[in-house]
Structure 1
Amino acid sequence: MTTFSFASSFPFTLSASASSNYSLTVSTLSLPVSMSSFFATTSPPNQTVCSFDDTTLRLPLAVLYSLFFIFGLVGNIFALWVFLFLQSSRNSVRVFLINCAVADLVLLVCLPFRVFYHINGNKWVLGSVACKMVGNVFYMNMYISITLLGLISLDRYLRLKGKGRARRCMRMRLWGRSWAWTWVACGALWGLSLVPLVSMIATAEDKEDKEKCFQYKKRVQAKGKAYFNAVLVLLFWLVFIMLVVSYAKIASQLLKVSRDKPDLPNAQRYEQTAKKSFFVLFLFTVCFVPYHAFRPIYIISQLRETYSCDYLKLIDRTNEVMLLFSAFNSCLDPVMYFLLSGSVRKTALQALGHRLGNRLLFLNEATSNSSMEFRRPSVPMAFPNRELNTPSIIPRTSICVINSNLCRTGLTTLPTTGQQ
């Protein structure tokens, strides 16, 4: 029996992989055409894994998130200290600002995890559950802060329309105790936020890499998370529209009073107060609008598989930059508190001491003359010349003048309201 040595017929030798490929080719050639085409179509293609590890953004993200954490932590702790221990007023805005400061502090606690992740070469060492917990807590508190800022704008507008007195009497009895409606609203907001938070943490991702976190993820198999993110985007735009309408009406009313009643005391301060309302809206727009304008593009890319790797890398890089603006809002919120409430400004300057207060004398003057608060003054009215009906008022804020004098001058759109 004659044996044919295939290797001896060639002057060279084949490696193991090459010989296996060659034998596969020979075997397929010996098969019928239909069978060979079947093997050709079912062979695994060369799939390229899209890596989102952008080394150029590691250091900038780590530095910026560190600065946000330091300045935001100092500002919000100081604001919370003023709200809880120094400020004497007990109105609805104070309740919203306390909850907003708490939400910012919880968000800031998540930033050191992001800093460590980027410093460690974008490698996560705490497991997938911890990654989802930190990421979802970050987003939950961001949207809680957004909603609270919307409620503050709505409260300012209702006070301007003279509906604050009716809301002041709104109290709810829970667990044998009477609560103000503002505390009930904030408690309901926190409670409703915990439900999707737990579900987002418990739900699995498409492909969970324990060494990766805070990066682009596909939602082809976890479409519920993508749809929930779309609902949050819709919630933001509703709050944004409410902010624009409320502050625009507040500013237009103040400017109208300044033009129509220039003889009122401190009438020139109304324009400054109107500008403050636009500045608060400006800060909100800069921090949150770019991120949520880009968010629909990000969510659509998560649900489809037809995009190239380079396009997805661009999506991930843009999302990281936009998210920086949203995180920056936690540092700017104490500035908003300072602008929203004249009593907060006054108490904060007193807490900083006389030496710093003297250097910031212009802020102290602004505190006594203009504010976003709408309340009745605590000092009595005096009319030295009743024939001329010339009011002489020493209000704590310029809006006090609105609440106390416009009723006497015939403008009934701003009736007097007491403190809540």
Structure 2
Amino acid sequence: KGAPVINIQPFVNGTQASFLTYSSPALNLLNNSTVRYLGGSLSTRVIPIIYTLVVTVGIPANVSILCLLVTKIRKVSSAILYCSLAVSDLFLLLSLFFKAHYHFHGNHWVLGETACRVVTACFYGNLYCSATALACISIERHLAVVYPFLYKSMPKRMCAAWVSLALWGVFGVAIIPELIVQQSYWLPHLNRTTCHDVLPLDHSSHMFLLYYHLILIIFFLVVPLVVIAVCFARIINKLTRSHFDWVTYIKASTLVFSIFLVCFVPPGVLHFVHYVQLFVDGTETLYVYFNVAVCLCCVHACLDPFLFLFMSKAAQSRFHFKTFKRKTLSSVLLTRNT
């Protein structure tokens, strides 16, 4: 949280600085821990290094999976959902490239206000989009396992296409406020321009962001968590009661739940509590922890491609099991007839 600068002191470290060289509005920081975070090695070295590693691994993995998925859309209906997840992850990874540049430069944004808005919108929008996509994939797996006859009679490809359109509708709605609100501000005492790190939250337009993000967290992080947890519990219950070996499929379902639990729940909780604190009394004691959790959340963009490979392996093992069962049944009938 920052306070608008009314009487600007054009001196930084004893040297006179011209305010006219800064196009962004000026703010004063109100919290010393945030000052330490913006100038510390955690935000200028550790976090951008993690972002760089995620981008290095995630972009080739998601591009490879996306090329593979495009060839399977006509055959496998779930490939449409995985395509949406891969594209969402790629947008997130591209935004991480610019965020890493920002952190490596001492949390100083040099690319302009428009780029700051686009990167911020792409970053948060795709986090919500990816979380919702994982929930939709869990619902599809739940229907296939728990209600197989209903799932078989459904127009799966058309449903997957409509769900994917809805996912991108979620993304479109999520990014609108970030695109229309000022995101970059110059901090005179630190002589740097931040992007989405310091905002004048007492202003009505930025106060709206608090309400908006709280709503997004509830509908696109809490609700997907409940959906994935319920689907996971019912899938595991159904498969463990079966007399056949579904270990691979259980592992695949567990992977979906684990990715969400590890990558999305901590930042979601910290994000919600952080915004509640800002709204109630203006404190920001969780801000540093929230940024670390969001950084670790982005690791899911590297794990999602392996999720598709695991799911494909599970589906293939199920296919071989059905083929084996048919051959066994045929041999039994043939024996009886002879």
Q: TM-score, normalised by structure 2?
A: 0.78
- Contact (CA 8 Å) 1:251, 1:275: kept in 2 or not? no
SS of residue in 1 equivalent to 2:108: coil
Given the superposition, is the C-alpha separation of residues 82 and 341 from structure 1 closer, same or farther in structure 2, using an over 3 Å criterion?
A: same
Give CA deviations for 1:3-39 in whole Å, capped at 9, x if unaligned: xxxxxxxxxxxxxxxxxxxxxxxxxxxxxxxxxxxxx
Counterpart in 1 of 2:15?
Answer: none
Q: Kindly tell me: are residues 297 and 253 of structure 1, through their superposed partners in 2, closer, same or farther at Cα, counting changes over 3 Å?
A: same
- Output the amino acid matched with 1:249: R
Aligned-pair CA distance for 1:203: 2.5
How far apart, CA to CA, are the structure 2 residues paired with 1:301 and 1:79?
40
Equivalent residue number for residue 330 of structure 1: 301
In 2 relative to 1, CA 88–103 (structure 1 residues): closer, same or farther, beyond 3 Å? closer
Which of 67, 75, 99 is 1:81 aligned to? Answer: 67
Larger Rg: 1
CA displacement at 1:185 relative to structure 2: 2.2
1: CA distance between counterparts of 2:222 and 2:230?
12
Q: 1:95 aligns with which of 59, 80, 89?
A: 80
Q: Match for residue 300 of structure 1?
A: 276
SS in 2 for 1:77: helix
Cα 1:274/1:333, change in 2 over 3 Å: same
How many Å separate the matches in 1 of 2:30 and 2:214? 27
CA contact (8 A) 1:68 1:328 kept: yes
Residues 251 and 108 (structure 1 numbering): CA distance in 2 closer, same or farther, change over 3 Å? Answer: same
1:17-416 matches, cutoff 5 A: 49-50=30-31, 51=35, 52-57=37-42, 58-85=44-71, 87=72, 90-160=75-145, 161-162=147-148, 163-168=150-155, 180-204=158-182, 208-209=185-186, 211-221=193-203, 222-235=206-219, 236-258=221-243, 267=244, 269-307=245-283, 312=284, 314-342=285-313, 368-369=316-317, 381=327, 382-386=329-333
* 1:116 to partner: Cα distance: 0.9
Alpha-carbon RMSD: 2.9
Residue 182 and residue 60 in structure 1: after superposition, are their counterparts in 2 closer, same or farther (change >3 A)?
same
CA distances 1:205-242 after superposition (whole Å, capped 9, x unpaired): 6x833811142535332222111111121121111111
Would you tell me which structure has more helix in proportion to its own residues? 2
Matches of 2:100 and 2:88 in 1, distance apart?
A: 20
- Helix, strand or coil at the partner of 2:66: helix
Question: Is contact 2:88-2:129 (8 Å) kept?
Answer: yes
- Distance, in Å, in 1 between the alignment partners of 2:295 and 2:107 is 17
**Could you tell me whether the CA contact under 8 Å between 1:62 and 1:118 is conserved in 2?**
yes
Contact 1:140 1:193 (C-alpha < 8 Å) held by counterparts: yes
1:264-286 deviations in Å (ceiling 9; x for gaps): xxx2x313422332232112211
Q: Which moved more, 1:238-247 or 1:159-168?
A: 159-168
2-structure distance, mates of 1:144, 1:341: 22
Distance in 1 of aligned mates of 2:215 and 2:140: 24
Give CA-to-partner distance per residue, 1:184-221, whole Å, 9 cap, x none.
Answer: 2212321343244233311346x833811142535332
CA distance in 1, matches of 2:169, 2:226: 24
Match of 1:126, SS state, is coil
1:89 is displaced (CA, Å) by 5.9
Q: Which runs of 4+ in 1 moved over 6 A?
A: none
Please tell me whether the aligned partners of residues 157 and 250 of structure 1 are also in contact (alpha carbons under 8 angstroms): yes
Q: 1:231 is matched by which residue type in structure 2?
A: I
Identity between Structure 1 and Structure 2 (%):
23
Deviation at residue 48 of structure 1 after TM alignment: 7.3
Unaligned runs of 5+ in 2: 1-27, 187-191
**CA offsets per residue over residues 236-258 of structure 1, 9 Å max, x none?**
11111111111211111111013
Structure 1: tracts of 5 or more residues without a match? 1-46, 172-179, 259-266, 343-365, 390-420
Aligned residue type for 1:167 = M
Matched-pair contact (CA < 8 Å) for 1:272–1:370: no
- Code of the residue aligned with 2:142 in structure 1: it is Y
Residue 388 of structure 1 deviates from its aligned partner by: 9.3
Q: Is the alpha carbon distance of 1:118 and 1:242 closer, same or farther for their aligned partners in structure 2, counting shifts above 3 Å?
A: same
Question: 1:129 offset after TM fit, Å?
Answer: 2.8
Question: Partners in 2 of 1:155 and 1:231 — Cα distance?
Answer: 25
- 8 Å CA contact 1:248, 1:278 repeated in 2: no
Normalising by structure 1, report the TM-score.
0.63
Query: What is the Cα deviation at residue 117 of structure 1?
Result: 0.9
SS in 1 for 2:330: strand
- C-alpha contact 1:132 1:201 (8 A) present in aligned 2: yes
Structure 2: distance between partners of 1:240 and 1:287 = 11
> Counterparts of 2:74 and 2:56 in 1: how far apart (Å)?
29
Which secondary structure does the structure 2 equivalent of 1:384 belong to? helix
In structure 2, the partner of 1:264 is: none
